[in-house]
Amino acid sequence: MQKKTVCFSKNSSNLFFHILTKCNLSCSHCYINKEQHGENTLDIKTIKNWLRIFAKKNNGEKSIVKAKDKIYNKNLGNLIFLGGEPTLHPDLFLAVKEAKKLGFQSITIDTNGYLFHNILEKITPDEVDFISFSLDGATKKTNDGIRGKGCFDKCVKGIKHAVSKDFATSMIYTVSINNINELLMMPNFLKQLGIKHFFIQVLGIRGKSSKNNKFQVSMEKWLEIVPKIAEKIAQNKITVTYPRVFLKKHEKFECAGLVADNYFIFPNSRVYRCPICEDYPIHSFNIKGNQLIPTKKINENDFFNLKIPQGCVMNKIIQPENFVSNYDEKSDFKIACCLLKEEVSI
């Protein structure tokens, strides 16, 4: 069994590309905030142009010329297509093909499982690394209570369809007090479904969940259940990734906004470096004229540089009562960067 903290990669970037904010579901913890990120759907020309901005950023103009000649450059970052529900975009398949041509290191589609526009018939397993399905319970009752009636069956059907067509599949499970106990049922369930990678998420403090933090599990419960269940799932040869959330007082704290290369892109052209900042107009960049333009002060970068003993400064500012009630200088724990992950595999 291998357990490792996945340090922030300094050599490649991660691009979380929200190509629209529209969705067919209305999950109780949805992090999309249309007031901040608009309601528009990017057209395929814009998606391609924006992908090229990041391809250029990582490799320089020369590599783009090479990419047009289909010479893949493996130093480009990891790309995740998101929404809303990205498969609602009729041209998602063209965006995937463009990203593949440009040579992104990995390409993932995050989906709620409805797989609109027959997306799996328009792309091949060679063109994407993962189709990642969101499910928040091992039973219909629990999942549909959080994500909406009928979506458990639809998502499971989608997973089976993807596996039957040889796509590598992963699953994202957002933990709350409503479903943490069903994590115990996940080892067999995931094995039966043929899932390759399981991502456990903590209930965020963005969008709707910022108003629902009464559903967040306590630190004690998280530490009691999540690491153990991750090891159990990994025994079935499924890689499990979950956020560290808490650091002991002596452990080193790092802010990904300062040491990593992550971009959270929204269709209204805002680009953030930190997902926790997404409910506020403090993004680092706007995309204008197909260029990444830094925003004026004050923006999220000014917060990344503030050092506090409690760890993540944005957690402290946005929700000081988050996770631990005694979250102060005397606490034995500090809050890790939300992007710091633990990975378990055999």
32 binds ligand SF4 (CB under 6 A): yes
84 or 187: CB nearest ligand SF4 = 84
Binding-residue pattern over the window 233 to 262 for ligand SF4, x denoting contact by CB under 6 A: ----------------------xxx-----
Binding-residue pattern over the window 34 to 53 for ligand SF4, x denoting contact by CB under 6 A: --------------------
313 binds ligand SF4 (CB under 6 A): yes
Beta-carbon contacts of 327 under 8 Å, excluding residues fewer than 6 positions away, are 310, 316, 320, 321, 335
Q: Report CA Rg, the chain.
A: 19
Task: Find the binding residues for ligand SF4 in span 70-129 (CB under 6 A).
Answer: 83-85, 112
317 binds ligand SF4 (CB under 6 A): no
Task: Please select the residue that binds ligand SF4; options are 73, 338, 341, 342, rule is CB under 6 A.
Answer: 338
Query: Is residue 256 a contact partner of residue 337, using CB atoms and an 8 Å limit?
Result: yes
155 binds ligand SF4 (CB under 6 A): no
Cα separation of 96 and 88, whole Å?
14
Cα separation of 324 and 341, whole Å?
19
Least CB distance from residue 311 to ligand SF4, whole Å?
7
Paired with 291 in beta bridges are: 288
* Residue where the block lists tokens 């297509």: 81
Helix, strand, coil in percent for the chain, rounding step 5: 35, 20, 40
Query: Is residue 176 a contact partner of residue 216, using CB atoms and an 8 Å limit?
Result: yes
Cα separation of 155 and 113, whole Å?
4
Least CB distance from residue 233 to ligand SF4, whole Å?
22
Which residue type, as a one-letter code, is found at position 205? I
Q: How is residue 132 written in tokens? A: 């990642």
Least CB distance from residue 82 to ligand SF4, whole Å?
8
Least CB distance from residue 291 to ligand SF4, whole Å?
24
Neighbours of 290 (CB within 10 A): 11
Q: How is residue 209 written in tokens? A: 């969940």
Query: Is residue 172 a contact partner of residue 204, using CB atoms and an 8 Å limit?
Result: no
Binding-residue pattern over the window 181 to 220 for ligand SF4, x denoting contact by CB under 6 A: ----------------------------------------
25 binds ligand SF4 (CB under 6 A): yes
Task: Find the binding residues for ligand SF4 in span 272-291 (CB under 6 A).
Answer: 274, 276
240 or 282: CB nearest ligand SF4 = 282
Residues that bind ligand SF4 (CB under 6 A): 23, 25-27, 30, 32, 83-85, 112, 134, 255-257, 274, 276, 304, 312-314, 337-339
